[in-house]
Amino acid sequence: MEAIKALMTRRSIRSWTTEPITEQERKTIMEAAMNAPSAADARPWHFVTIDNPEVIKQFTQMGGTEMLKESTFMVLVCGDESKEIYPGFWPQDCSCAAQNMQLAAHDIGIGCVWIAIYPLQDRVETGRKILGIPQSITPFALLAMGVPNEVLAPEYRYDEERLHQNKW
């Protein structure tokens, strides 16, 4: 798939089949995550992959996340401030990694949805507790994936009213 087509057709998928994601598909998605740009190439991230249905089920208690029980593969993107060269950029860097994951998943036919974790402190602590994440690492975003069980049409979201040229 070409990059522009991927960008314009990617949708958040919240319903999946029970078919597992292959090891090669997982690796492709994780390679894309780790190839994301980051400030000063610091790569201040860690990733926790999750495929155990009992662990996945624990994340359905956060509110608005009931659909996660259908996911066959999830990745919790975490920030590591100790890896930063320019302090404060880790959320942007982790966002780039998460976006790369979504686009890679879409490109290979895997449905994905981004669940916000940071800066919601209750969700940060939930992620920490479920997965045993140390206090020095911040859970940032949970990407739930699976073989899509729904097809959503692309949405055209370009809005000229939000475009400003040379000044506001």
Statement: residue 133 has pLDDT above 90: yes
- Kindly state the average pLDDT of the residues 7-33: 98
State both tokens at 47: 């990733």
Q: What is the per-residue pLDDT for 66?
A: 96
Q: What is the per-residue pLDDT for 62?
A: 92
pLDDT digits (tens, 9 = 90+) for 25-83: 999 999 999 999 999 999 999 999 999 999 999 999 999 999 999 999 999 999 999 99
Domain ranges for the chain, please list them: 3-150
Going through the chain in order, the beta strands assigned E by DSSP cover 45-50, 73-79, 111-116, 138-146
Report strand pairing: 111-116 vs 73-79.
Answer: unpaired
Say which CATH architecture domain 3-150 belongs to.
3-Layer(aba) Sandwich (3.40)
CB 153 within 8 A of CB 132: no
CB 143 within 8 A of CB 68: no
How many other CB atoms are there within 10 angstroms of residue 129's CB atom? Answer: 11
Residues 6+ positions from 84 with CB-CB distance below 8 Å = 39, 42, 44, 90
Which run of H or of E encompasses 34? helix 23-34
Dihedral of the CA atoms 120, 72, 69, 155 (nearest 10)? 70
Average pLDDT, the chain: 97
